[in-house]
């Protein structure tokens, strides 16, 4: 069973790591990626409900986010030592886009379930 607090920590971790890399003294090309993560950064302040997840589909989405985070951290770690930064940057950008797409799917899923739960309570 997953916990939504874990997902919240994943989102905070992604933002934090990209902010570190987007510092002008490090890799200014990451500033644009950080802009793409603004939606997630705004969502961090709202957080997630403090609830466990019994749904395997949602649990799989969260596991997928964690896998993307791990892969992203590996790519970022090797970014400054690679000579072919252009291709690695493209890979990093794809990972960020996948993370954002999954984030949107998870938010939509949570929103839809809240609506479903509300309908059940009123019947």
**pLDDT tier for residue 107 given thresholds of 50, 70 and 90:** confident
- Mean pLDDT is lowest, of 12-16, 17-21, 62-66, for 17-21
Percent of the chain whose predicted confidence (pLDDT) is above 90: 12
Backbone angles phi, psi at 50, to 5 degrees: -85, 80
Closest CA to 32 of 44, 43, 17, 22: 22
* pTM of the predicted structure, to 2 decimals: 0.78
- Does the pLDDT value for residue 53 go beyond 50? yes
Backbone angles phi, psi at 47, to 5 degrees: 75, -165
- 58-86 pLDDT, tens per residue? 888 888 999 999 999 998 888 877 778 88
């Amino acid at each position: 069973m997953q916990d939504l607090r874990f997902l919240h920590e994943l989102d905070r971790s992604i933002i934090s790591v990209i902010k570190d890399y987007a510092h002008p003294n490090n890799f200014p090309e990451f500033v644009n990626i950080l802009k793409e993560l603004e939606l997630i950064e705004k969502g961090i302040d709202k957080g997630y409900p403090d609830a466990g997840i019994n749904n395997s589909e949602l649990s799989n989405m969260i596991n997928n986010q964690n896998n993307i985070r791990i892969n992203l951290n590996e790519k970022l770690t090797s970014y400054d030592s690679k000579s072919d930064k252009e291709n690695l940057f493209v890979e990093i950008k794809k990972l960020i886009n996948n993370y954002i797409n999954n984030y949107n799917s998870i938010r939509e899923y949570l929103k839809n379930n809240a609506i479903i739960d509300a309908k059940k309570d009123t019947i």
